[in-house]
Structure 1
Amino acid sequence: MKVEPLHPDVVMFVGDEYESVATAFFDGDDALLVDALAGEEDARQLREVLCGQLGKNVRAVVSTHRMSDHMAGLMLFPQALSIAQRHHRHTFLSQNRRVDAYYREPKLVFDGTLSLRWGRHELHLLHNPGKTLDHVSVDAPGADLVCVGDNIVGRIVYLSKADPAQLRGAIDRIKQLGRGTVIGGHMGRFPAAVLDQALHYLDRLRETVVRIRSQAPPALSERRIRAIAIEDCVAAGVEPTPFEREWHGHNLDVVVGQSVFALDAALAAREARA
């Protein structure tokens, strides 16, 4: 596990499983966690560092979204106040790799926004649906950072079952916060430029798929879509990591399997005929 202090009272954890991220904010000996990692061994290491080595008590756990690869540690802190957006069950039930053993009913749910003071930090929980319906951005202006969950995946996005337009809107809303550091649901922290890089990837993937669908019959289109290289979608200067390459491959499967961007291609063809 990677443990990285971001401030004297903020520590980021990146687990081995899915490079899932958890972020801890400290108020004296009390800790608030944003997300809880993907695997049980990662979660145990998180508890050992926070509680065993640092002597903190985990009092609250905020979920950026309720998917199993961010929930493994919830059961290790049964006394903590668990916080989620109201549509959390929709997300949990709709995921591809659900782990029911990780599920814990949140003690506090909210709709649009929720603010709380934690030590020196005023944390703003903002409902920001994109990758999932329940997605939350956790804005920490005093630390000049925002935790965005899976609305980005490194310098790209993962489409899964999301509406690409909704995902784009979520990233635009994160940009409006103007934070210098962006903490994703996977891989770790990035400078603010990551948001434009993720949008660039999303836009280039859409444009490429629309062009392919407009030029070839369905059977041939599927083969061409599966052959789209990540290098043709990422922003200039971005060297894709193995993790980003893996999830780009998943995106291509999603585009073919769920006919993603097919509506965009149909609308573009209608405009061309008009």
Structure 2
Amino acid sequence: MLRERVTEDVYVFISQLYAEVSATVVITPEGAVIVDTLPFPQETRQVREFALERCPAGIRYVILTHHHADHIYGSYLFPEAELISHRMTRETLLKVGAESLAQAKGQTPALASVELRIPQLVFETDLLLRLGEKTIHLMHAPGHAPDAIMAHLREDKVLVASDVVTPVPLIVRGNAEELSRSLRLIKALNLENVVQGHGGVLLRGEIDETVDSSIGYLRCIDRKVRTIVERGQPRSALAEIDIEACGKSRIPLGGLVQRLHQANLEFLYGEIQQESQAAA
């Protein structure tokens, strides 16, 4: 697992076991705050050990940015911490969390010890969390997922964007227009760093370019997939839509972005096809 020091009090851990997913540790004199956990216990235990070494006051809060398994499965390793999320995250986990975890354990033995935790403190639009001279502004930022949130560490000028910002936007079971709106929110903040949900930490000079290219990518794939559907072409025609022609590299995340790009195209094809059939 990789560890990156972003500011004096903010550290980011990047998984080497699953898709470079990230977890963030915020250190304060009154306790640590963890934003997202890592899916495999062996890595999240390292995050916990680090936080406790650096923060004698213990771990006060764990913030879950959305309900996806790769961000929440380590939360049971922080039983003393209050769990915070969007209201929809709690509702989704209560509805399907246990069944999804059982399926994951059946497929991945390394998850055998994982237990489902349900957030206790939830919010709808915004939540301000103050701890040890730190102000953390949690804001609803749907698009990647309906329940997605971002965490703005105001004094540090750091945004933990989670999967709102990734090397290629992922909209499967999400909404491209909502994600574009959430991305635009980022440009209004005075930031030094953005922590991506997967991949490395963005520096100040990279933030606007990344946001703009992500919005441009979403426009590009919508336009190209819509053209294919309108022409009555089969799904196989999606292979002609190159990720780099839409402004994103095929290299990050060990090449996983190419698979995510294809998943976006398949999802949009089905969505636009349904729109066309409904309008006919």
Q: Scaled by the length of structure 2, what TM-score is found?
A: 0.82
State whether residues 172 and 267 of structure 2, in contact with CA within 8 Å, keep that contact through their aligned partners in structure 1.
no
Distance in 2 (CA, whole Å) between partners of 1:265 and 1:224 is 19
Query: Structure 2 CA distance, aligned partners of 1:53 and 1:26?
Result: 7
| Root mean square deviation of aligned Cα | 2.8
- Quick check: 1:110 aligned with 2:123? yes
Q: Secondary structure at the match of 1:48?
A: helix
Q: Post-superposition shift, 1:110?
A: 1.2
- Give per-residue Cα distances to partners, 1:217-268, cap 9 Å, x unaligned: 242xx11213422111125xxx43242742342342353356355169859x
Per-residue CA deviation, residues 161-186 of structure 1 (Å, 9 max, x unaligned), is 01211111111122222423211111
CA gap 1:113/1:214 in 2 versus in 1, 3 angstroms? same
**Structure-2 separation of matches of 1:26 and 1:43:** 16
| Pair 1:139 & 2:149 matched | no
The answer to whether 1:173 aligns with 2:182 is no
Percent identity between the aligned chains?
25
2:217 match: secondary structure:
helix
Tell me which residue corresponds to 2:101: 99
Matched, 1:163 2:166: no
Alignment coverage as a number of residue pairs:
261
Residue in 1 aligned with 2:75?
74
Q: For 1:199, which of 203, 210, 215 is the aligned residue?
A: 215
The answer to whether the aligner puts 1:130 opposite 2:143 as a matched pair is: yes
Q: Which amino acid aligns with 1:46?
A: V
* Aligned equivalents of 1:31, 1:173: Cα separation in 2: 26
- Check the 8 A contact 1:123/1:138 in 2, yes or no: yes
In the alignment, what sits opposite 1:45?
46
Q: Give, in whole Å, the separation in 2 of the partners of 1:245 and 1:229.
A: 14
Cα deviation digits, residues 135-170 of structure 1 (max 9, x gap): 11111121111111111222x201110121111111
Residue 250 of structure 2 is aligned to residue 240 of structure 1: yes
SS where residue 212 of structure 2 aligns? helix
TM-score (norm 1): 0.84
Q: Per-residue deviation at 1:3?
A: 0.8
Q: Which consecutive unaligned segments of at least 5 residues does structure 1 have?
A: none
